[in-house]
Chains A and B, each alone.
Chain A
Amino acid sequence: MRTTGGKTMLRLHKLVKRFGSVVAVDDLSLEARSGEVLGFLGPNGAGKTTTISMVSGLLRPDTGHVELDEGEPPERPESRRKIGVAPQALAIYDDLTAEENLRFFGKLALADAGRLRARVDWCLDFVLLTDRRKDYVKTFSGGMKRRLNLAVALVHDPPLLLLDEPTAGVDPQSRNVIFEKILDLKTSGRTIVYTTHYMEEAERLCDRVGIIDHGRLLAIDKVDRLIDAHGGKSVVTAVRQDSEERIESSDPIAEVVKLQGAGDILSLRIDRPNLERVFLNLTGRELRD
């Protein structure tokens, strides 16, 4: 599964991970290139977080291997300097301030005090927390903690970001801020691996989306190509006085024009195929199941 673009920043080769009799990740192979946002879309328990854990070196695959950048394994501490992880759980210290959190995690990767200071300032500014830098994290809202969680992943300026459901449990306003920041990061050339079970997020942010369920990568491609390949046809729904008609069509506009000529139509609606439909068609169940 290759994509065109910058150099390969991440390569997963036939990854398998089992927990007892449960196969969490099953024969997963893919690549991600620099400047790309690669999404993993799947329900809870699909294997997204397990994959992220193997990529970040937290878990060893039972078989297969992970390569970072120039083929480095993530188990090597120095290789992990290239990775920034924003885990699904808020992995920050409540009894430290925002600045102290960033400074502490930054120190683990950056030796130069001046650079560290500059990165801390940049991160606080990037996630809009500069005015709260001296406040304890325990006083923050959920959205602010999420933003700080993201900032900690960025503090050592890694080229590869692993964002595991970074908008879980935040309000729409904070979610929009995070979306904007991720798009900014993408523009700056970073490779982002983004897991979500929200179709809208995947469609809005990701260059390519991998549909994952029961540990298997069912499909991976650009969103429109996935929809073309697995979403089926558009559905035109025509509502009449006493009935409703649903017509599947690969050219819904032509169908609408045709139906308008019939004269007794009260309303017309076009349902284009989306990732939800892709997931339904690939797995036989809805994404939210």
Chain B
Amino acid sequence: MMRRVLALAGKDVRLLVRDKGGTFVTFAFPFIYAVFFGLIFASRSGTASKIGIDVVDEDQTVQSAAFVDKLANADEFDVTQATRKDANDDVRRGRKVAYVIVTRGFGEAAGGIFFNKRPKLEVGIDPARQAETAMFQGILTKYMFEMITSTFTDTAAMTSQIDQAKKLVAADKSLGPIRRTMFDRFFNELDRFTTELKQNEPAESGGDAIPEDKENGETAETESRAGWQPMDIETTDVAREHTGPKNPYEFSFPQGIIWGVLGCCASFGISLVTERTSGTLARLRVAPIGRVQILGGKAAACFASTLILATVMMFVGRFAFGVHPGSWWHLGVSLTCIAVAFVGIMMFLSTLGRTERTVSGVSWAVLLGMAMLGGGMVPQFYMPPWMQALGDVSPVKWAILAMEGAIWRGFSTSEMLLPWAVLAGFGLVFFAIGVRGFSWTHEG
């Protein structure tokens, strides 16, 4: 019995491969799809989009609020205020690139710029993003400088700072007379400078601008940053749980496979009708084989083609595009369940018309509908919630979920059971409907 089923399946696979249109839709298009969208996603992730960070203000002072405000208005960041726990969670789960905690005492330290105190930030960042860490710290430093610069040019704040400093110098008994005189002279000069600045403020709109060193083409601000750090940044590695695709191809390859599976499904569904209209089905029926074997052969061909396609794509994805399935055996079961589901759907599609033309048109309408709802065209997370819920009726959604669960979602076996069961259920139900509704003669 198996020999005959295999002969039937072998014939169908051979016919599929020799049909240039069918081969393109089934084998070439999925690769083009996967690579094309992988490249698009890759280029999007490479653009200067804002870095998503959580900011925690534990200091709750005017200075800390001003700093947080600076970060919130920064072009480089997309800031969310959070608690320390949530911020840590977000980075760990990969929802945010990093977090910044403005620690207690930040305001006091930022206010005491003439003393040996520096404001302190805690930064948590995924160690896998080491390359971005330095850049991230640089951006933070830039905004801290900006805040200090504004302190220097805020005459009221500066006068208050100078008064406080003078009092502290006067009260400090450990200072020698020479150093005390030097400090007094420095703060008096600074006080006079600040007073003059204050007097000129209304006349010069650009009064707070730092003069540019025309010769070197750099600002004095830039020069001043070279050696001195305005704050301490304490960096913590937050090992991220890889709950997202590690690269865009882990996202695009499952979708590419789906298109190949849909192509297989449509090709074999239509080929069943072609066999009927061309008379070869009648010839098979007068051969010494049963109907179960005839349909079994077609199902086996569709199953094998689907698995071969998916396996080849996964291997190419693995070795050429860095697609690393989290669990190969989960992926194997997922692909098997997907093949079962779409063999059933193939059988069902063959009942949707009498001629190849009708079945071809209706099949693609059905399959494209499944793809649209199931996230085969547009990822489900772009869809409104009601549409995502509607996607539950589409086998494509479960097929993608089963593959993603095995590749990058990190599903446990118990989590995989649902998509596997749904796919197998779809397959059995559609196959039963298809076998029952299939017309063995052209006349019906």
Closest Cβ of chain A to B265, distance in Å, is 20
Closest partner residue, chain A, to B297 (CB atom)? A108
Determine the distance from Cα of A87 to Cα of B284 in the docked complex, in whole angstroms: 11
Tell whether, in the assembled complex, residue B280 and residue A80 are in contact, meaning their CB atoms are under 8 Å apart: no
The yes or no answer to A81 lying at the interface (CB within 8 A) is yes
Task: Enumerate chain B residues within 8 angstroms of A108, measured Cβ to Cβ.
Answer: 4, 7-8, 284, 287-289
Determine the distance from Cα of A107 to Cα of B8 in the docked complex, in whole angstroms: 9
Closest partner residue, chain A, to B291 (CB atom)? A77
Determine the distance from Cα of A111 to Cα of B8 in the docked complex, in whole angstroms: 14
Task: Enumerate chain B residues within 8 angstroms of A156, measured Cβ to Cβ.
Answer: 288
Tell whether, in the assembled complex, residue B279 and residue A93 are in contact, meaning their CB atoms are under 8 Å apart: no
Task: Enumerate chain B residues within 8 angstroms of A90, measured Cβ to Cβ.
Answer: 278-279
Q: Which of B8, B280, B286 contacts A58 (CB 8 A)?
A: B286
Tell whether, in the assembled complex, residue A91 and residue B282 are in contact, meaning their CB atoms are under 8 Å apart: yes
Closest Cβ of chain B to A61, distance in Å, is 15
Tell whether, in the assembled complex, residue B287 and residue A100 are in contact, meaning their CB atoms are under 8 Å apart: no
Contact A58 B285, CB 8 Å, known A104-B7, A111-B3: yes
Interface string of A58-79 (1 = CB under 8 A from B): 1100000000000000000111
Tell whether, in the assembled complex, residue B15 and residue A81 are in contact, meaning their CB atoms are under 8 Å apart: no
Determine the distance from Cα of A100 to Cα of B14 in the docked complex, in whole angstroms: 10
Q: Which of A77, A79, A92 contacts B290 (CB 8 A)?
A: A77
Describe B's contact surface by its main secondary structure.
helix
Determine the distance from Cα of A57 to Cα of B286 in the docked complex, in whole angstroms: 7
Task: Enumerate chain A residues within 8 angstroms of B283, measured Cβ to Cβ.
Answer: 85, 87, 91, 105, 152
How many residue-residue contacts, CB under 8 A, span A and B? 70
Closest Cβ of chain A to B377, distance in Å, is 31
Tell whether, in the assembled complex, residue B3 and residue A107 are in contact, meaning their CB atoms are under 8 Å apart: yes
Task: Enumerate chain B residues within 8 angstroms of A19, measured Cβ to Cβ.
Answer: 443
Determine the distance from Cα of A109 to Cα of B4 in the docked complex, in whole angstroms: 8
Tell whether, in the assembled complex, residue A107 and residue B7 are in contact, meaning their CB atoms are under 8 Å apart: yes
The yes or no answer to B85 lying at the interface (CB within 8 A) is no
Closest partner residue, chain B, to A57 (CB atom)? B286
Determine the distance from Cα of A92 to Cα of B281 in the docked complex, in whole angstroms: 10
Tell whether, in the assembled complex, residue B284 and residue A58 are in contact, meaning their CB atoms are under 8 Å apart: no
Closest Cβ of chain B to A259, distance in Å, is 54
Tell whether, in the assembled complex, residue B288 and residue A81 are in contact, meaning their CB atoms are under 8 Å apart: yes
Tell whether, in the assembled complex, residue B280 and residue A77 are in contact, meaning their CB atoms are under 8 Å apart: no
Tell whether, in the assembled complex, residue B288 and residue A78 are in contact, meaning their CB atoms are under 8 Å apart: yes
Contact A91 B280, CB 8 Å, known A56-B286, A58-B441, A77-B288: yes
Task: Enumerate chain B residues within 8 angstroms of A96, measured Cβ to Cβ.
Answer: 11, 14-15, 18
Closest partner residue, chain A, to B440 (CB atom)? A58
Query: Which residues in window 256-305 of B have CB below 8 A to A?
Result: 278-280, 282-290
Residue of B280, B282, B289 most packed against chain A (CB within 10 A): B280
Query: Which residues in window 81-106 of A have CB below 8 A to B?
Result: 81, 83, 85, 87, 89-93, 95-96, 100, 104-105
Tell whether, in the assembled complex, residue B280 and residue A93 are in contact, meaning their CB atoms are under 8 Å apart: yes
Closest partner residue, chain A, to B7 (CB atom)? A107
Q: Which of B3, B288, B443 contacts A80 (CB 8 A)?
A: B288
Chain B interface size, under 10 / 10 to 19 / 20 to 34 / 35 or more:
20 to 34
Task: Enumerate chain B residues within 8 angstroms of A91, measured Cβ to Cβ.
Answer: 278-280, 282-283
Closest partner residue, chain B, to A52 (CB atom)? B286
Closest Cβ of chain B to A229, distance in Å, is 34
Interface string of B421-444 (1 = CB under 8 A from A): 000000000000000000001010
Closest partner residue, chain B, to A138 (CB atom)? B18
Contact A85 B286, CB 8 Å, known A91-B279, A104-B11: yes
Task: Enumerate chain A residues within 8 angstroms of B234, measured Cβ to Cβ.
Answer: none
Q: Which of B3, B278, B289 contacts A77 (CB 8 A)?
A: B289
Determine the distance from Cα of A4 to Cα of B279 in the docked complex, in whole angstroms: 35
Determine the distance from Cα of A104 to Cα of B8 in the docked complex, in whole angstroms: 8
Determine the distance from Cα of A179 to Cα of B12 in the docked complex, in whole angstroms: 33
The yes or no answer to B19 lying at the interface (CB within 8 A) is yes
Determine the distance from Cα of A95 to Cα of B11 in the docked complex, in whole angstroms: 10
Determine the distance from Cα of A92 to Cα of B11 in the docked complex, in whole angstroms: 12
Contact A95 B19, CB 8 Å, known A77-B290, A87-B279, A104-B11: yes
Interface string of B36-62 (1 = CB under 8 A from A): 000000000000000000000000000
Closest Cβ of chain A to B344, distance in Å, is 25
Tell whether, in the assembled complex, residue B15 and residue A80 are in contact, meaning their CB atoms are under 8 Å apart: no
Tell whether, in the assembled complex, residue A109 and residue B287 are in contact, meaning their CB atoms are under 8 Å apart: yes
Task: Enumerate chain B residues within 8 angstroms of A109, measured Cβ to Cβ.
Answer: 287-288
Determine the distance from Cα of A23 to Cα of B8 in the docked complex, in whole angstroms: 35
Determine the distance from Cα of A79 to Cα of B286 in the docked complex, in whole angstroms: 10
Task: Enumerate chain A residues within 8 angstroms of B280, measured Cβ to Cβ.
Answer: 91-93
Interface string of B104-136 (1 = CB under 8 A from A): 000000000000000000000000000000000
Determine the distance from Cα of A109 to Cα of B284 in the docked complex, in whole angstroms: 11
Tell whether, in the assembled complex, residue A89 and residue B279 are in contact, meaning their CB atoms are under 8 Å apart: yes
Task: Enumerate chain A residues within 8 angstroms of B443, measured Cβ to Cβ.
Answer: 19
Closest partner residue, chain B, to A107 (CB atom)? B7
Determine the distance from Cα of A89 to Cα of B19 in the docked complex, in whole angstroms: 22
Interface string of B312-332 (1 = CB under 8 A from A): 000000000000000000000
Determine the distance from Cα of A156 to Cα of B11 in the docked complex, in whole angstroms: 18
Determine the distance from Cα of A156 to Cα of B287 in the docked complex, in whole angstroms: 10
Closest Cβ of chain B to A18, distance in Å, is 13
Task: Enumerate chain A residues within 8 angstroms of B282, measured Cβ to Cβ.
Answer: 53, 58, 87, 89, 91
Interface string of B370-398 (1 = CB under 8 A from A): 00000000000000000000000000000
Tell whether, in the assembled complex, residue A83 and residue B278 are in contact, meaning their CB atoms are under 8 Å apart: no
Closest Cβ of chain B to A276, distance in Å, is 30
Tell whether, in the assembled complex, residue A80 and residue B286 are in contact, meaning their CB atoms are under 8 Å apart: yes
Task: Enumerate chain A residues within 8 angstroms of B279, measured Cβ to Cβ.
Answer: 87, 89-91
Q: Which of B14, B19, B278, B287 contacts A105 (CB 8 A)?
A: B287
The 9 closest A-B pairs by CB, nearest first: A89-B279, A91-B279, A91-B283, A107-B7, A81-B288, A108-B287, A95-B18, A56-B286, A77-B288
Offer 13 A-B interface pairs, CB within 8 angstroms, sorted by A.
A56-B286, A77-B290, A79-B288, A80-B287, A95-B14, A95-B18, A96-B14, A104-B7, A107-B4, A108-B7, A109-B287, A109-B288, A111-B3
B interface residues with partner A (beta carbon < 8 Å): 3-4, 7-8, 10-11, 14-15, 18-19, 278-280, 282-290, 441, 443
A interface residues with partner B (beta carbon < 8 Å): 19, 53, 56-59, 77-81, 83, 85, 87, 89-93, 95-96, 100, 104-105, 107-109, 111, 152, 156
Q: With contacts A91-B278, A156-B288 known, what are 20 further pairs, Cβ within 8 A?
A: A56-B286, A58-B282, A77-B287, A79-B288, A80-B287, A80-B288, A85-B283, A87-B282, A89-B278, A91-B280, A91-B283, A95-B14, A95-B19, A96-B15, A96-B18, A104-B10, A105-B287, A108-B7, A108-B287, A111-B3
